[in-house]
Structure 1
């Protein structure tokens, strides 16, 4: 009788496929390299096939190994979902929840959410991850994330979304800039002023350029930033002007820089929303999570 394949062996296979390195794979799942290697060898013996080709420096998955790793991920997700469904029958917001957020949102909402959600759902354990919106959408689709905080409008495929807050913009400019002493500005004040913005791939870059609908704004092609703190620093260095999201300003992204922050009239805000897989077993829990997140973040918007 053939020895059965174990879930632990499938976890070893997925870890190796993810890292293509025995040491990093072992570290990722908190086992020794020898344990991982032995477990994979046992799996290969059980299946009667080679799943990975090894030498001293490299690991290459065989076609069968790569294909089985895809199936193993699905099996492990199903098992995890089974365990979570049982554990959350009496308390839907208990246990581990993998929550992602866009990198222009996460640093400015995670601190409030961790404290606020912890007080409301003491049995909830959050595993937080930041990334680009494309990566978050893929994480939801592939099961790497349970839910994600994203900025709309953005095509989230068939994911469910619930609005949390609207996030407007402030113009950030040096204090000696011609617009610095204005009480507020509108889109017309920006049409001939190229904006310092994030690099392409960030939703905020697209949202900022479309903040006034048909009144197109222009990005300064000479520079693309990788983060909002970098943008604030470049404006302070008189490299140009930018639009900063209100949640980032409230969280202190402009602190330490000699900047003027000017309200903008008529700009379309981006909508911060919680997204999750349509038909997820914990959909009712995500609805409750969205309500709690909205309450926490709206409280942070009040003066």
Structure 2
């Protein structure tokens, strides 16, 4: 070998192997594609082996590349385990913690959590970044987040999950809609109704689509909301009906004298939890943060969501 392998090269190659595309891997790493290509080429030169075959729709690992990817994963797991031994997070909530959060949850829960967090743990610096659930998990795997607050389930042996609460989903209709103000909504009432949803990057989209398949409601593909606020506004203009999470209903509908009518839909809920890389173990900071969210849910959102964990 003509040079030493660097930890950066190993991390970049691991991310590339998982992402399956240079563009996606570069985005996850926060670097340019040329920079990523340069590091991968340097790794291949050092090993004296071709690891990656480029194709129009992505890439394919060579046999040597598959072996190297497995080794890279093991190396990074061991490096992270070693880092955790000296991490200030092992002692509790201090240092810097990077949290990813989906925008359908974070804005309606985290302000209450952060208020308590800063009062009780002023030595902790929490860096919060929003993203769609699919992007959050990709970025978590790539190391951009220490943990993520997201819709469950999170699949894969590479992650550990702590369920936090179940959040009911409410049917939202325009104030003049025939179902507005109903005390009881049965799924049969949804047949034929135009249903609005967020885009496919959001797990909530899958729940809405499944509900449409089950009840005969019609999922509108010509209008996809980019946020819960956008969905609410479209419903208020009688462009369709939708599902809104309980925390959002409390924060943005009930508290503001809503422009839509919301009713509970029996049996509809979503599960929310924290996820982190299994290679991190279970630092005390993660357990403490989950416990803090649980306390906020029980004490400030009783009747809105159902605490778990």
Tell whether the structures are fold-level matches, with TM greater than 0.5. yes
Structure 2 partner of 1:128: 129
Q: Is the 8 A contact 2:174 2:238 kept in 1?
A: yes
d(CA) in 1 for partners of 2:35, 2:263: 59
Structure 1 partner of 2:189: 190
Q: Is the 8 A contact 1:187 1:267 kept in 2?
A: no
Structure 2 partner of 1:164: 164
Q: Is the 8 A contact 1:140 1:148 kept in 2?
A: yes
CA 1:8–1:168: 2 relative to 1, 3 Å? closer
Q: How does 1:56-135 map to 2 (within 5 A)?
A: 63=62, 66-67=65-66, 68=68, 71-72=71-72, 74-88=74-88, 91-102=91-102, 104-121=104-121, 122-126=123-127, 128-132=129-133
d(CA) in 1 for partners of 2:110, 2:64: 37
1:288 equivalenced with 2:288 (yes/no): yes
Q: Structure 2: which 5+ residue stretches go unaligned?
A: 305-309
CA 1:156–1:253: 2 relative to 1, 3 Å? farther
1:165 is paired with a residue of what secondary structure? strand
2:172 is paired with a residue of what secondary structure? strand
CA 1:50–1:248: 2 relative to 1, 3 Å? same
How many angstroms does 1:292 deviate by?
0.8
Task: Point out the structure with max Rg over C-alpha.
Answer: 1
d(CA) in 1 for partners of 2:196, 2:77: 38
Structure 1 partner of 2:230: 230
How many angstroms does 1:79 deviate by?
1.8
d(CA) in 1 for partners of 2:260, 2:219: 23
d(CA) in 1 for partners of 2:254, 2:100: 24
CA 1:2–1:117: 2 relative to 1, 3 Å? same
d(CA) in 1 for partners of 2:9, 2:125: 28
Q: Is the 8 A contact 1:102 1:150 kept in 2?
A: yes
1:264 is paired with a residue of what secondary structure? strand
2:271 is paired with a residue of what secondary structure? strand
Once the two structures are superposed, what CA deviation does each residue of 1:58-115 show, in whole Å capped at 9, x if it has no partner? x988737854466445534532342233123752434454434445324433444445
TM-score, normalised with respect to structure 2: 0.67
Structure 2 partner of 1:5: 5
2:215 is paired with a residue of what secondary structure? coil
1:292 is paired with a residue of what secondary structure? helix
d(CA) in 2 for partners of 1:263, 1:89: 42
How many angstroms does 1:189 deviate by?
7.2
d(CA) in 2 for partners of 1:150, 1:97: 16
Moved more, 60-69 or 3-12: 60-69
How many angstroms does 1:291 deviate by?
1.0
d(CA) in 2 for partners of 1:241, 1:287: 38
How many angstroms does 1:290 deviate by?
1.2
Point out the structure with the larger helix share.
2
Moved more, 239-248 or 276-285: 276-285
d(CA) in 2 for partners of 1:255, 1:245: 14
d(CA) in 2 for partners of 1:208, 1:34: 40
How many angstroms does 1:46 deviate by?
3.5
Q: Is the 8 A contact 2:28 2:142 kept in 1?
A: no
TM-score, normalised with respect to structure 1: 0.68
1:275 equivalenced with 2:275 (yes/no): yes
Instruction: Give the CA RMSD over aligned residues.
Output: 4.8
1:296 is paired with a residue of what secondary structure? helix
CA 1:195–1:9: 2 relative to 1, 3 Å? same
d(CA) in 1 for partners of 2:85, 2:166: 32
How many angstroms does 1:298 deviate by?
4.3
Q: Structure 1: which 5+ residue stretches go unaligned?
A: none
How many angstroms does 1:204 deviate by?
2.3
Q: Is the 8 A contact 2:253 2:260 kept in 1?
A: no
